[in-house]
Structure formats: C-alpha cells, structure tokens
Amino acid sequence: MRYFLSRLGLFALTAWAAITLNFLLPRLMPGSPADAAIARLAQNGPVDPATRAAIEAQLGVPTGGLLAQYWDYLGNVLTLDFGVSYTFFPASVASLVGSALPFTLVLVGLVTVAAFVIGTLIGVLAAWRRGSALDALPTLSGSFLAAFPYFWTALLLLFFLGYTFQLFPTSGAYSPYTTPGLNGPFLADAVAHAVLPAVTILLTSLGGWILGMRNAMIGTLGDDYVTFAEANGLRSRTVALRYAARNAILPNLTGFGLALGGVVGGSLLVERVFAYPGVGYLLFNAVTNQDFPLMQALFLMITLSVLVANFVVDTLYGILDPRTRR
C-alpha cells in the first residue's frame, strides 16, 4: 500500500510537471506563438475577447504576469478548456481531441498490450531454447524489425496490401457509408480499417519486447534459484515459467513503461500514413496548419496518457513483486 501511494504521489508530481512543461514550452520559444495564433484566427473573422484571453493564457503573451497566466492556464486545463481550433474553426479543441482520442486509445492501446504479451511469450521461448532455431529466428528478425522506422513499415504495408493487392482499406477508420455506433456493419468495417495500422505497430514494436524478455530471462536462467529448482527435479515447465520467466518479467515490465513513449510516438506516424483519424493524424494536421492551441492540447493529452499507462505498469509491478510490499 505504501508502494502504491508513493507511486501515486510520483504520478501526480510528474503529471503536474508535464502540465507545467506544456505551459512553458510556447513561452520559451523565440517569437510569440500567441500573436501568430491570434493573427491566424483573425482570418476567420473577429476574435472575441474571451477567445483572445484563452489563447493568451495558453500560449503566453509578453504582457501580463506569468504567475497569473499560469493560474489561468491551470484552471483551463482542469476544465478541459483549450480554446478553439482555427484549422477546424469554430470547433473547440476539446471536442476535436475528444473525438480523436478513442480511436488512438483503442488502436494503439490494444495493439501495444498485445505486442507486449506476444513478444514476451516469444522471448520466453527463445531464452528457454537458447541457441536453437526457435531462438535464432525471432532474435534476428526481432532486432531487424525493431530498426524499421514505423512510418516505413506502414508505407510498405499500405503499398502492398492496400494498393497492390487491395486486401484492406487504405485510409480512415471507417467507411463513410456506415453509421458509427455499436452495430455489426460498422464494427466489421472499423476492424477492417484498423488491420493495417495494427499490424504495423505490432510488427515494429514486437522485436523490442522479444529481445528484452529474452535477455532478461537468460539472466534469470543463470540465477541460483533456477539451478536449485532443477536440482530439486521440478518439471521444466515449472522452472521455465514460475521461476525464470516469472522473475524476468519484472525488469521487462519496467522496460515496457519506459519504451511506451517511443511506441506511442511511432504510432502517431502510422496514423499519419493511414490517415487514421486519431490523435497522431490530428497532431500532424495541427502542426502543418500551425494550429498551436490544438497542438498544445494534443501534446498534453498524449503525455498524460503515457503517464497514466506508466502508473498502471508501476502498480502492476507492485502486485507482481512481493519485495515492494514491505
């Protein structure tokens, strides 16, 4: 419980730091993003004072006390008020993020967890059969796949499976003729659209998990408790899973938390390639249109999601390792 509380405290502190970083970023940059943003917004029509104030609070203007701005900004973050987007004027940033987030969370979240589980299992097998073909094949292809840029894997799959063989839809999350909701045709269509991005993320992130688990488990296989378990004649399944793998999963889990940021970053590029209407694609649109309010809000959401995921991983670690309970 103490471990859980200390992790919770650390999470809160890190989240606060990330929110603050998000506040400071535009203010540390040369030039005035806020002025640029207001000028851009003015192209769509007159900017009302409330909107102007919101943008200034978010992006910073040379006038006004920093502390007061910070206070306003914190209030805005808590009420999820990120102003309006000017790419998709007059839609509010919050509504845009809200509609993109579910796609990314479901796609990236599910696939990442699946990749971790599959990769870990393959890693266990590779370490247990060290030196055999069952080890060499996943290890070698894993280290090669891990070096693939996410967007390139995506482009190749898109080109071959999407365009050349036309097995899967090439862009978007669902076809325009379906009605989003919990109905059969829509879900089937959404799954078909998700296959290529999902396979990309799975393939590219799998290698890292395989290698991580394999190396961790080769370490634990050399530990004395494994030798002793063998000396006691335990079944090899028990030795491999309950002794070697069970301990190797712990450092691997920590690695998972730390590598998560990279996977999420890569997934953003994947969304861009498949024009998948998630957070990454939206971020790409915001960046190309210099839509700073949208960009800021998206960055904050992405960071907070990764932090939450890390917190979950930490909690899981606490459950799996009895040594943290003391």
**Of 205-234, which residues contact other proteins (CB under 8 A)?**
222-225, 227-234
- Tell me which residues in 41-80 interact with other proteins (CB under 8 A): none
State the minimum distance, in angstroms, from the CB of residue 182 to other proteins. Answer: 31
Q: If binding is defined by CB under 8 A, does position 113 make contact with other proteins?
A: no
Distance, in Å, from the CA atom of 74 to the CA atom of 79, rounded to the nearest integer, reads 9
> Which residues ranging from 135 to 194 are in contact with other proteins (CB under 8 A)?
143-144, 146-152, 155-156, 158-160, 162-164
Q: CB burial class (10 A; 0-12, 13-18, 19+) of residue 67?
A: exposed
Residue from 127, 173, 264, 282 touching other proteins (CB under 8 A): that is 264
Q: Binding of other proteins at residue 129 (CB under 8 A)?
A: no
Interface with other proteins (CB under 8 A), residue from 19, 23, 33, 126: 33
**Cα–Cα distance list, 97 to 16, 59, 104, 282 (Å):** 20, 18, 11, 8
| Nearer Cβ to other proteins (181/326) | 326
Rule CB under 8 A: say whether 261 interacts with other proteins.
Answer: yes
* Residues whose CB falls within 8 Å of the CB of residue 167, separated by 6 or more in sequence, listed in order: 161
Q: Which stretch binds other proteins (CB under 8 A): 48-56, 67-75, 175-183, 257-265?
A: 257-265
For 317, how many CA atoms within 13 A lie in the half-sphere containing its CB? 19
Q: Which residue stretch of 66-74, 78-86, 107-115, 266-274 sits at the interface with other proteins (rule: CB under 8 A)? A: 266-274
Find, among 18, 14, 8, the residue nearest to 296 by Cα.
18
- Residue 262 makes contact with other proteins by CB under 8 A: yes
For residues 150 and 241, give the distance between their C-alpha atoms in angstroms, rounded to a whole number.
32
Complex with other proteins: residue 217 or 273, whichever CB lies closer:
273
| Beta-sheet strands, E only, within the chain | none
From first CA to last CA, the distance across the chain in angstroms is: 9
